[in-house]
Structure 1
Amino acid sequence: MTALPRGATPGPTAEDRDATAADGADPTADSAVPAPGAAVDGATDEATETVGGPAPTGEDAGAGAGEPAGGAGAGAGESPVGAEGPSSDGEAAAGTGGVPQLSETEAELAAQRALREKIERRKAEKTAPVEAGAKLSGQAAELLAAVRAVESGAKSGEAFFASPAPTPRRAAPEPGPVAAAPVRAAEPAPAAPETVASVRAVLAEGGAPEALAGPVAGVLGEQAGQVLREDPWQLLSVPGVRPEQADGFARALLGAECGPGDGRRTAALVGWLLEWAAVRGHTALESGAVRKALTEHKVPDPDEAVQNAVAEGVVLAFQDGAQGDAAGEPAEGESPVEVLLGLDRYALAEESLSEGLARLASTFDNGAAETAGWDVGGVPPSAAELIRAVAANGLVAHSGGEAARAEPAALVAAARGLGLRAYAASHSADGRRRLAAALDDASASVTVSGLLAGVEGPGRDEDGAFALDLLVVLDAPQLDVERAAVLVESLADGTRFVLSGDPNVLPSAGAGRVFADLLASRACPHIVSRTPDPGPIGELVSGVGIGELNQVGAPGREVVIVPVRDAGEAVHRTVQLVADSVPRAFGVSTAQTQVITPGHGGSAGTRALNAALKQRLNPGPGRFGGFDPGDRVAHVPAPGRTLPGTVVSADAVGLHLDCEGTPVVVPKDRVETEVRHAWALTAHQTAGMRWPAVVVVLPGDAAPALNRPWIYTAFSRGERHLSVVHGVDQALPRAVAEIPDRPRTTRLRTLLQPPAAQPDEQRGEQPAP
């Protein structure tokens, strides 16, 4: 795609989100918002050359930004195997009797739309009178009727103590076999040709590339041409466009009519700054940080710009604890409280999530009665503690390392033994398999994405809620606020909900820090596992978690340090380890060995390492849009999801992959943005997955990208062996000891806590822009 003119650096694209949200962000630039003209990639990732792509959400779409692919094949619009593929409709309906199925992406987007509609209805209902108990049903309605009968004297209270015991709830049904059909990603609805034509004319008039016509029409709707002509800075709503590019476009269209203080420009800038903050994980920004960033973008009156953006509805203003105006000025007699600015999508998600968690937490009142019948015998003490807590509470947090995953498994088994519909959801297919092995019952293990899409788990009841009684979500730090909100909204009253995970790993690639905020709010019981991860790798990782990089005894060479002098040697030694040393010494195949490095760019980033590993392990011309059969790849069907797979073939329809036993077809026009080679990945892409052997590559130029969560996550991905290709000298122990996780600014912790329990510091430390 043609780059925008004027030599400006492109804005946040799909690949940027992986490097920026968690892996390759430059710790020397702590700003939540970028300076004018600043590169958007991480310290070890080079800037991309294209604009466009998915809207920046902060989720881990970095794996979806494909390698620049040369050659013909599926990416070039010609069938590389000389055969006509099935039609689009036929492919979608394969194995389903001709009925098209929603892809996971489509189902998840539909769930998010339904969530927003539900939130709006709930807000409207709050203003109307509600008859007490009018919306209750089932056991809750019966209980209310019983209470009213006693209060009115119609029945004696003693009569209810003699009531028969409730009938045990039915056991979870066993899911039947499902025919495996090729999964295809959701195709975006194309804009009308006349709309694209009108946008193309405006872009040409302003000197912008015509290739942006489709994305602009998709973002701005049917009147996109007119909207863009009246407000050229709306170009900033298209992913990949930066302020200096939009400024040049506006000058070409408006001439002397526009200036740095133009209200249209300042409103668009405020929205763009908050979108960029979401890429880095923030759901809101302090108004002072936004004003400072606006000053750097030559806005003459930042206070007025912020007030204008709030008045125009571009952003929302929040002030917890005191009232004030949109510029952050406190009301008379009140101490200064910084105003937070946020986009409505994240504000709605955090408010919906906090309400849903509070609803679940208030489900059970009589803890002693609820624990009756739950069997805690024959399980370790930590698992017994978790079972007792979940029996007595509707919402529970559980934290621990890899070995602690056995405790939620014991919980699900105990609940199923009582006839409850209990399920455990993990972040990845690999995590689901490991969980199923611990449960010894594959039907109780699902992935979060599969559960939300309705392709895994119990399905939904007539009210649209999940048909279950207990849901345990593992890898909870990987939940961003929007996905968590959709998940909680799908849980019916009376459902027990457990969030379990390792608080030391990297946070979600999307905006928010749901698990950390829940733990910090103390809004529910928190069970801390006392089960340590075993072996030398477990000992090493446990030390990293508390800020210590210790030397550990590794008699079986479970941990090996490979010092290197430069990036070239790092690449050479990595290929040697994967192709020869690890298979020979430990019997682990190359397919079971994963390389992890801090960023995509640089001389030892994922691009360089994947090129070297492909040349050694699966050489070929890349005739399928840059890929060959047998190539190890990562497919990203939706932002924040990385599915490891292998290239099978390609045809006129697209690239055919085998993603851990599931056939997937990626349309040929989306191969470049959704598929990349995956012998080497970033740490965030590996979250929720483990391999028998892991090689962590730390070249010298990666030092600025290192912090404790990154190192903890990368080191803990290996089960039997960890090799560290070490070229950062003292930067490694310094990062472990001195550089904790970069804070994110969110509102969820504040929303979860009652006002009396809120400490003075409710938000993460706000980085200066």
Structure 2
Amino acid sequence: MSTEPPETPEDAEPGSADGTPAEGAQVSEAEAELAAQRLERERIERRKAERQAPVEAGGKLSGTAADLLAAVRAVESGRKPAATVFEEERPAPRRPAPEPVRRTPAVAPAVPAAGAVEGVRGVLAQGGAPEGLAVQAAAVWGEGAAEVLRSDPWQLLRIAGVRPEQADAFARALLDTGADPGDGRRGRSVAVWLLEQAATAGHTVLEPAALADALGRQGVAEPEEAVQDAIAEGDVLVFQDALGEAGEDGERPVRVLVGLERYAMAEESLADGLARLMNSATERNGAGEEWERAAASAEGSAGELIRAVAGHGLVLHTGGEASSVEPAALLDAAHALGLRAWAAAHGPLGRARLAALVEGPGVATVGGLLSGAEGPGRDADGAWDVDLLVVLDAPQLDVEAAALLTESLPDGARLVLSGDPGVLWSVGPGRVFADLLAARVCPQVASRRPDPGPLGELVSGIGVGELNQVAAPGKEVVIVPVRDAGEAVHRTVQLVVDSVPRAIGVPAEDTQVITPGHGGAVGTRVLNAALKERLNPGPGRFGGFDPGDRVAYSPAPGRTLPGRVVRADGEGLHLECAGEDVVVPRERVESALRHGWALTAHQAVGCRWPAVVVVLPGDAVPALSRPWVYTAFGRAGRHLSVVHGVEQALPRAVAEVTAKPRTTRLPVLLAPQVPAGTGV
């Protein structure tokens, strides 16, 4: 790695968080996704009825856990629970549901009646809340939305983007007696809101003590009582997960957790679906000797992957960018055996890279597969017509998307989850790939194919906690030191516009800037404004955008499609994203579209560019971690410039700051020897 003067290389996060469906005459992709999601959730809820036997354990619990179990028993017996429970931390604003499942034409979500919208608009105005929330409120509660908010103003927290202090102000304006912080309605709503925030931070459930602490920080005077009320009302579920073996007295230790039904049931559905696939795998999809011949003709670990898939319904495959040739070889072998095989990547750029390695068809994106826009048809039972599904970029699967994928596979199908365990985890709740790797319930094939060159050497070192100096004779890696935010912006623009094209031969349109966040003096907003001024100046006539602008489009939370604005008309903004034409309705432009010369590392996951400029200003230190650096640096194909202003914080983050833990239930649910607790 070279450190040189900053003039030239020779010398030197999302989209829409509200998830509101587009309105209009046609059903948008987001609307179709949400409609299909509802259908799938109904099916999962029906499955829940089969899982109601509680674990008989916990007799030796004390303190909060014992109080919690007493609350559970009270709910089971029809009484309101007694008196103590919990709370959690507040991670970040909530993102709505992931993508759905059905290939059959989705029914558009019911458009709220005009009367319902007008009625709730009046209540919102009376409480001083933005009238723009009326459509969302009417969609959530229907005709009774106005009455719901009058009787319980804190229900406003159920609308995405609303925070407790805003709901408090709304309640003070509506309630004659004022808004008492000790009001039970407030405590229940804040408990649910905190669990939603926890899901945004990746948790599917929380420890009771964590939820109690967070409720206290939100000014809830009796957090335990608030949680009990939320349990009694059915807003919060309690889980008792058995851990380890029973002791001499026959009691098995349990872990008590709380969560929202939506995420808890998705995690249980995922565990059920994975167990079904593992238990139903047969050799009907190609005789054993045919699989063996295919494996023998493949190279290295590709042959190991083919052999593992031959005999198992679930296989995990790990490796870096270069290892994608192995899933491609598996697909080609499956097609040669006459199997119906498909693969899905996180985004269109990943799909294009994989398609270039596969001889035949059968490559989609995860979002397109789940929405029905891409992929195989479905059989009479609603399952996909596939014998094998390979999912790349598996660390990006949250529990809901993973559950929907597994639920859509027929008995006897094989599922391969492939990805790099070093990259950032999913934007949504869960750590599916990491949990499966840790659970060791199925074969795991680790690629022995290293990423090549100085960039591959650098990124491989980061993956094991080492920020190494690498020899870069072709200026593959260049460090550009900066002193402050202003210099960081200046050098970044200089690199993209002049230095990288001139010295490396990569044009500006093939160079991607990656920075830790959207805000701040060197966030995506500032960098995109500076790059637009140099590369595509214009008045931003169409919602802040002009033809030729690079953009990041989020059709659904957690998915980012890099693209370019082509034109605008009455339909909205027309984009070109990885060779496909995409229309963003004008009412979705503000929430679903950002300029895209600069992205966050989470937005860049699953993508790769010839040249990448990673910007690390001095205020970026709190955001740095080994997965973040690994992900950002690993997006570069030929050249990486690092605009470096964090000094020793960078090697320290690589060596010491690992991924933040997430509280999930999947490992326990998958453990074959320990029956898992059920929700209450």
- Scaled to the shorter chain, the TM-score interval is 0.7 to 0.9
Give 1:736-747 correspondences, 5 Å limit: 736-747=654-665
Deviations 1:321-340 (A, max 9, x none): 289xxxxxxxx996875421
What is the alpha-carbon distance in structure 2 between the residues aligned to residue 186 and residue 719 of structure 1? 42
**Offset at 1:406?**
0.8
- Residues 228 and 235 in structure 1, CA contact (< 8 A), matched pair in contact too: yes
Structure 2 segments unaligned to the other structure (5+ residues): 1-12, 53-105
Deviations 1:262-318 (A, max 9, x none): 221111011000011111111111111111111222322222211111111111111
What is the alpha-carbon distance in structure 2 between the residues aligned to residue 122 and residue 335 of structure 1? 26
**Offset at 1:186?**
11
Which secondary structure state, in structure 1, belongs to the residue aligned with residue 296 of structure 2? Answer: coil
What is the alpha-carbon distance in structure 2 between the residues aligned to residue 640 and residue 655 of structure 1? 21
Give 1:217-236 correspondences, 5 Å limit: 217-236=138-157
Deviations 1:405-434 (A, max 9, x none): 111111111111111111111111111111
Partner in structure 2 of residue 668 of structure 1:
586
Deviations 1:439-487 (A, max 9, x none): 133x121111112222222221222111111110000001111111111
- Residues 281 and 511 in structure 1, CA contact (< 8 A), matched pair in contact too: yes
Partner in structure 1 of residue 269 of structure 2:
352
**Quick one: which of 555, 558, 564 aligns to 2:476?**
558
Q: Does 1:246 align with 2:167?
A: yes
The one-letter code of the counterpart of 1:398 is H
Partner in structure 2 of residue 286 of structure 1:
207
Q: Does 1:389 align with 2:308?
A: yes
Give 1:720-731 correspondences, 5 Å limit: 720-731=638-649
Which secondary structure state, in structure 2, belongs to the residue aligned with residue 432 of structure 1? Answer: helix
What is the alpha-carbon distance in structure 1 between the residues aligned to residue 557 and residue 51 of structure 2? 34
**Quick one: which of 441, 452, 455 aligns to 1:534?**
452
Partner in structure 1 of residue 359 of structure 2:
440
Give 1:684-723 correspondences, 5 Å limit: 684-723=602-641
Give 1:179-328 correspondences, 5 Å limit: 189-256=110-177, 258-321=179-242
Partner in structure 1 of residue 666 of structure 2:
748
What is the alpha-carbon distance in structure 1 between the residues aligned to residue 36 and residue 165 of structure 2? 36
- Residues 281 and 411 in structure 2, CA contact (< 8 A), matched pair in contact too: no
Pair 668,753 (structure 1): closer, same or farther in 2 beyond 3 Å: same
The one-letter code of the counterpart of 2:46 is R
What is the alpha-carbon distance in structure 2 between the residues aligned to residue 209 and residue 484 of structure 1? 36
**Quick one: which of 516, 520, 535 aligns to 1:598?**
516
Pair 573,106 (structure 1): closer, same or farther in 2 beyond 3 Å: same
- Residues 105 and 186 in structure 1, CA contact (< 8 A), matched pair in contact too: no
Deviations 1:593-648 (A, max 9, x none): 10000000111110010001001101111111111111111111111111111111
Give 1:419-568 correspondences, 5 Å limit: 419-441=338-360, 443-568=361-486
Pair 582,252 (structure 1): closer, same or farther in 2 beyond 3 Å: same
**Quick one: which of 101, 106, 110 aligns to 2:31?**
106
Which secondary structure state, in structure 1, belongs to the residue aligned with residue 416 of structure 2? Answer: strand
What is the alpha-carbon distance in structure 2 between the residues aligned to residue 421 and residue 600 of structure 1? 42
What is the alpha-carbon distance in structure 1 between the residues aligned to residue 473 and residue 664 of structure 2? 45
Which secondary structure state, in structure 1, belongs to the residue aligned with residue 520 of structure 2? Answer: coil
Partner in structure 1 of residue 62 of structure 2:
none
Q: Which has the larger displacement, 333-342 or 356-365?
A: 333-342
Partner in structure 2 of residue 119 of structure 1:
44
Q: Does 1:363 align with 2:284?
A: no
Deviations 1:689-712 (A, max 9, x none): 100110000011111110010000
Deviations 1:662-707 (A, max 9, x none): 2222121221111110000000001111001100000111111100
**Offset at 1:376?**
1.5
Which secondary structure state, in structure 1, belongs to the residue aligned with residue 357 of structure 2? Answer: helix
Pair 394,578 (structure 1): closer, same or farther in 2 beyond 3 Å: same
The one-letter code of the counterpart of 1:211 is G
What is the alpha-carbon distance in structure 2 between the residues aligned to residue 615 and residue 247 of structure 1? 42
**Offset at 1:107?**
3.5
What is the alpha-carbon distance in structure 2 between the residues aligned to residue 587 and residue 636 of structure 1? 30
Q: Which has the larger displacement, 746-755 or 560-569?
A: 746-755
**Quick one: which of 310, 322, 335 aligns to 1:403?**
322
Partner in structure 1 of residue 73 of structure 2:
none
**Offset at 1:103?**
4.3
What is the alpha-carbon distance in structure 1 between the residues aligned to residue 357 and residue 382 of structure 2? 30
The one-letter code of the counterpart of 1:111 is A
Which secondary structure state, in structure 2, belongs to the residue aligned with residue 610 of structure 1? Answer: helix
Give 1:568-579 correspondences, 5 Å limit: 568-579=486-497
Deviations 1:142-161 (A, max 9, x none): xxxxxxxxxxxxxxxxxxxx
Which secondary structure state, in structure 2, belongs to the residue aligned with residue 634 of structure 1? Answer: strand
What is the alpha-carbon distance in structure 1 between the residues aligned to residue 644 and residue 32 of structure 2? 43
The one-letter code of the counterpart of 2:446 is V
The one-letter code of the counterpart of 1:582 is V
The one-letter code of the counterpart of 2:393 is D
Partner in structure 1 of residue 72 of structure 2:
none
Partner in structure 2 of residue 343 of structure 1:
260
- Residues 172 and 179 in structure 2, CA contact (< 8 A), matched pair in contact too: yes
**Quick one: which of 516, 533, 544 aligns to 1:626?**
544
Which secondary structure state, in structure 2, belongs to the residue aligned with residue 419 of structure 1? Answer: coil
What is the alpha-carbon distance in structure 2 between the residues aligned to residue 186 and residue 641 of structure 1? 22
Which secondary structure state, in structure 2, belongs to the residue aligned with residue 723 of structure 1? Answer: strand
What is the alpha-carbon distance in structure 2 between the residues aligned to residue 369 and residue 414 of structure 1? 10
TM-score (norm 2): 0.85
Pair 186,400 (structure 1): closer, same or farther in 2 beyond 3 Å: farther
**Offset at 1:370?**
5.5
The one-letter code of the counterpart of 1:278 is A
Q: Which has the larger displacement, 106-115 or 292-301?
A: 106-115
**Offset at 1:499?**
0.3
The one-letter code of the counterpart of 1:120 is E
Give 1:580-599 correspondences, 5 Å limit: 580-599=498-517
Deviations 1:524-570 (A, max 9, x none): 11111111111100000000000000000111110011101111111
What is the alpha-carbon distance in structure 2 between the residues aligned to residue 460 and residue 107 of structure 1? 17
Partner in structure 1 of residue 4 of structure 2:
none
Pair 370,524 (structure 1): closer, same or farther in 2 beyond 3 Å: farther
Pair 756,666 (structure 1): closer, same or farther in 2 beyond 3 Å: closer
Q: How many residues align?
A: 603
- Residues 199 and 428 in structure 2, CA contact (< 8 A), matched pair in contact too: yes
**Quick one: which of 16, 20, 25 aligns to 1:64?**
16
What is the alpha-carbon distance in structure 1 between the residues aligned to residue 182 and residue 614 of structure 2? 48
- Residues 65 and 675 in structure 1, CA contact (< 8 A), matched pair in contact too: no
**Offset at 1:229?**
0.7
**Offset at 1:224?**
0.6
Partner in structure 2 of residue 657 of structure 1:
575
Q: Which has the larger displacement, 505-514 or 664-673?
A: 664-673
What is the alpha-carbon distance in structure 2 between the residues aligned to residue 725 and residue 406 of structure 1? 32
